[in-house]
Amino acid sequence: MNQVKRPENGYQSRIRANVIRLFRWNGAWGAATALMAFGPKLLWNRTLVFTLLAVGLDVAVGVGMILANKNYLAELDELQRKVQLNSMGITLGVAVVAGVPFSVMDAYHVIPFHADIAYLLILMSLTFAVSNLYGTRRYR
């Protein structure tokens, strides 16, 4: 069955542009973080000045990503913003509730591995994705 593709309205095209911008900033931040994490060992043999430059670049790109996210949220309509707010609230709660015991378990050697920040980032990403999907479907 053929579906007629409806033209985007101004809101949708604006949000699409913001999502693409946010996606680019996220990609740039991921690349800058990878450079900061692996560069000292693989690229410049732990030269301090290059490491500091990589840290500065990562922070600068991170600020750009935060601003892009802020602009994206500001452009959303109130329902979409509500969904995002709920997702962020759940993500923050899960990060605190799971992060502190995880750190304590590492401190007392309850877990056989180091409580790396990457685990928390993965948990936060998954929590945000699931709660955002749930919130979006809830209003369909």
The candidate with the shortest Cα–Cα distance to 30, out of 53, 62, 70, 66, is: 62
Q: With respect to another protein, which residue has the nearer C-beta, 15 or 90?
A: 15
**Residue 5 near another protein by CB under 8 A:** no
Residue ranges of alpha helices (H) inside 5-116 are 10-42, 48-75, 78-107
x/- string (CB under 8 A) for another protein, residues 46-85? Answer: -------------------------------xxxx-x---
Q: Write the DSSP symbol of residue 116.
A: -
Query: CA-CA distance, 125 to 8, in Å (whole number)?
Result: 29
Ranges within 82-101 binding another protein (CB under 8 A)? 82
CA angle at 93 for the pair 124 and 65, rounded to the nearest 5°: 45
**Residue 118 near another protein by CB under 8 A:** no
Query: CA-CA distance, 80 to 68, in Å (whole number)?
Result: 16
**Residue 6 near another protein by CB under 8 A:** yes
**Residue 9 near another protein by CB under 8 A:** yes
What crossing angle do the helices spanning 48-75 and 10-42 adopt, rounded to 10°? 170
x/- string (CB under 8 A) for another protein, residues 19-48? Answer: ------------------------------
**Residue 5 Cβ vs another protein, minimum distance, rounded to whole Å:** 12
Q: Which residues bind another protein (CB under 8 A)?
A: 6, 9-12, 15, 77-80, 82, 136, 138-140
